[in-house]
Structure 1
Amino acid sequence: MTVFACATCDAVLSTPLSQVALPAHARQTWGHGLLPVLMEAGSYAVDPEPFGPPWRSWNEVDEDEAAARGVFAPVDSLPFGDPGTIVVAPGDTRGTVLIPERCDGYCCGLDGRDGPNLACEHCGQPVATRIDDCSLWQAVRFAPRAVRRIPTGDPAPQAADWQALATEVHPTPPVGPSGAWSPQWAAAAGVALAHLLAASDGTPVTVPDGLAAETLRRTLDTLLPQEPPAKTAALAGPGLLTPGPALDILLVPQHPRTGEAWQPSSSARTVPLPADVWTHLAFHQERLPVPAAGGLPAGVIRDDPLPMHPWSVFRPDWGVFLYTLARLPAVRQPWLRRIYDRVKDHPYARPF
């Protein structure tokens, strides 16, 4: 376990935390209301990409410089803050105070546009950026050069091996109590679609029937040509049968602690999915309730409460999709760059 302390005065700034993978929806902007906390209590993640000001527009950045920073297609602006911010839940911070002159936001809270807005309560040095504005996942990001790590001596939770993943990861339902699609699923689909397009080489891609088709097929059919032959994609990972050699693309889980994608023994290309989303796709079987006298037979679910069903068609998060695709070198191929430009110019057009 790790505690983060002020690099200037050594004051403790967090509770004991264990490291996990950065969530796929870490940079998501969703809806118009207040979103929950990004990180689970007791955990932290390291964002390898630059974060925060100063900001430079695309016209101010040379393409080679952008590529060196891992961006291969035009974006509105690039952050030139330090990479490696430490992302934690706001409730896991200790000994920090707001910096009033840096508390700007768009609507209902703070969005971090002015840089670090939290200072060490003991010495007054800026140490972190709190984000809690509407449409943004609530989080605190410690500036990597403003804090230092102190091992507590307590062992961190052991990372589950791949075979235990299906039993230890709690699946995230695709639909919430309101009947709206989960923003986590929209973000996961945005990431997966960017990788699926890159793996398609510009040819059609077929995905399994069911929830995978409901969340991915419509977008793939819209963005890719439909002339055969098509590449075949399927779910693969721990607890599933070994995929056959005829599969071209495999949808695989990312480990929730390390962020590493599960690697198959075949030569098929892999597309990562967050473990909580992949687990639901791989193992959740929703069966229609059937009348039964006496006790319910094996395999029949109760009809109270009814399973949640969405009230609208699924739309992947176009912002997460563009963010991911801009950072894949494959986007420099003319056919894929055309798709990127099309979605960027018309983000609310079908299928987004």
Structure 2
Amino acid sequence: MTVFACARCGAVLTAPVTQIALPVHAHHTYGHDLLPALMDPGTYAVDPEPSGPPWRPWSEIAVEEAEARGIFAPVHALSFGAPGAIVVAPGDTRGTVLIPERCDGYCMGLDGRDGPNLACARCGQEVATRIDDCSYWQAVWLVPHAVRRLIADGPARRTVDWETLAQLPGTPPIEHPGGWSPRWEAAIGAALAHLLAASAGMPVAVPDGLAMGAFGRVLDALLPPGPPAKRAALVGPGLPAVDPVPDIALVPRHPQTGEVWQPSHTAQTVPLAADVWRHLAFPHEGLPLPVSGRMPDGVLRDEPLPRHPWGSFRPGSTVFLHTLARLPAVRQPWLRKIYDQVNDHPYARPF
């Protein structure tokens, strides 16, 4: 277990927390809603990329400099701030106070536009930025150079093995009262970038059902028409072997370690957030069976009615672009054309 303390005076700033992988939706904004906390209680994650000012526009960055940073397609601007920002749930912070003159936001809360807005309550050092405005995941981002890690008493959180992970419930794709889950939009957007790169520009067949709804319409719009030249399939712990071996394996990414599950065969892998992968691999819609007495678990109910979406699924374009810009394959002309098309019109269908 770890606690983070003020680098200046040593005051403890967080509850004991355990490191997990940075969620794929960490920088994904969504609609005009108040979103929940990005991190589960008792966890933290580290963003390996630089964040915060100074920023430099793409026009001032040489291609070689960008590629050394792992960026292979144009972005609006790049941060040249410190890497390694640490994110925790707002409820896991301790001993901090708001900096009143830095509490601006767009609508319903704080968006961090003015830089760090939390200070150490003991010495006044700027230590973190709290974000809780609409469209943003609620989070506290600790400034890397302003805090230091300390070992905390208590048992470390156990790493869940793949077999146990496959048995956990997945994240439903639809939220009340009928909107698609922002976690799904982000996860599918990131996986779509990898899936396009694995396609080599050829049509891809994806599994029927929810996977077709998530990927099929977008692939049809972005890839050339014609009979599928490659086949994608869900592969991972708890699933039977796929025969014949698919060209592309949609596999889970471990939420704690960030490890991507590796199949025994040689198919190209496309990582997918484990909670979304589980729902695709093991859908649980309930059984439409007549019953008497108390309704048992697992039976499709008519009250409340099953959730149905307002419209077709649309993956998150910002996460798609963020992921695709960091894949070397985007330098291929056909994929760069797709990137530029979406970058110029990020909210046009099918996004």
Q: Same-fold call, TM > 0.5?
A: yes
Q: Secondary structure of 2:78's match?
A: strand
* Contact 2:24–2:186 under 8 Å retained in 1: yes
Distance 1:136 1:293 in 2: 45
Name which of structure 1's ranges 118-127 and 334-343 shifts more when overlaid on structure 2. Answer: 118-127
- Aligned residues, how many? 351
Q: Over the residues paired in the alignment, what is the CA RMSD in angstroms?
A: 1.9
**Deviation (angstroms), 1:23:** 1.0
Confirm whether residue 28 of structure 1 aligns to residue 28 of structure 2: yes
Structure-2 change in CA distance of 1:41 and 1:294 (3 Å): closer
**Deviation (angstroms), 1:29:** 1.1
Structure-2 change in CA distance of 1:296 and 1:9 (3 Å): closer
Q: Provide, for residues 263-321 of structure 1, a one-character-per-residue CA deviation record: whole Å limited to 9, x for no partner.
A: 11111011111111111111124256244578989985444433211121111111111
Q: Secondary structure of 1:280's match?
A: helix
Matched with 2:282 is: 283
**Deviation (angstroms), 1:229:** 4.7
**Deviation (angstroms), 1:115:** 2.3
Distance 2:128 2:303 in 1: 46
Matched with 1:57 is: 57
Matched with 1:156 is: 156
* Contact 1:52–1:113 under 8 Å retained in 2: no
Matched with 1:330 is: 329
* Contact 1:131–1:140 under 8 Å retained in 2: yes
* Contact 2:191–2:272 under 8 Å retained in 1: yes
Distance 1:108 1:348 in 2: 23
**Deviation (angstroms), 1:102:** 2.7
Distance 1:234 1:263 in 2: 14
* Contact 1:203–1:228 under 8 Å retained in 2: no
Q: Secondary structure of 1:32's match?
A: coil
Matched with 1:309 is: 308
Name which of structure 1's ranges 106-115 and 255-264 shifts more when overlaid on structure 2. Answer: 106-115
* Contact 1:245–1:266 under 8 Å retained in 2: no
- The letter for the 1-side match of 2:328 is P
The residue correspondences of 1:162-201 to structure 2 (distance < 5 A) are 162-167=162-167, 169-201=168-200
* Structure 1 residue runs without a partner (length 5+): none
Matched with 1:89 is: 89
* Contact 2:103–2:112 under 8 Å retained in 1: yes
Structure-2 change in CA distance of 1:295 and 1:131 (3 Å): closer
* Structure 2 residue runs without a partner (length 5+): none
The residue correspondences of 1:125-274 to structure 2 (distance < 5 A) are 125-167=125-167, 169-274=168-273
Distance 1:301 1:90 in 2: 37
Structure-2 change in CA distance of 1:82 and 1:228 (3 Å): same
Q: Secondary structure of 1:145's match?
A: helix
Distance 1:233 1:225 in 2: 16
Name which of structure 1's ranges 57-66 and 175-184 shifts more when overlaid on structure 2. Answer: 57-66
Matched with 1:79 is: 79
- The letter for the 2-side match of 1:83 is P
* Contact 2:205–2:228 under 8 Å retained in 1: no
Q: Provide, for residues 194-246 of structure 1, a one-character-per-residue CA deviation record: whole Å limited to 9, x for no partner.
A: 00001000001111001111111100110001233521001011100123353
Q: Provide, for residues 315-340 of structure 1, a one-character-per-residue CA deviation record: whole Å limited to 9, x for no partner.
A: 11111111111111111110000000
**Deviation (angstroms), 1:170:** 3.4
Identity of aligned residues (%): 68
Distance 1:297 1:110 in 2: 44
Matched with 2:120 is: 120
Name which of structure 1's ranges 289-298 and 200-209 shifts more when overlaid on structure 2. Answer: 289-298
* Contact 2:176–2:307 under 8 Å retained in 1: yes
Distance 1:320 1:256 in 2: 17
Structure-2 change in CA distance of 1:134 and 1:255 (3 Å): same
**Deviation (angstroms), 1:166:** 1.9
* Contact 1:53–1:114 under 8 Å retained in 2: no
Q: Provide, for residues 70-109 of structure 1, a one-character-per-residue CA deviation record: whole Å limited to 9, x for no partner.
A: 1111111112221111110111101111223333332322
Q: Secondary structure of 1:218's match?
A: helix
Q: TM-score, normalised by structure 1?
A: 0.95
- The letter for the 2-side match of 1:182 is S
- The letter for the 2-side match of 1:97 is V
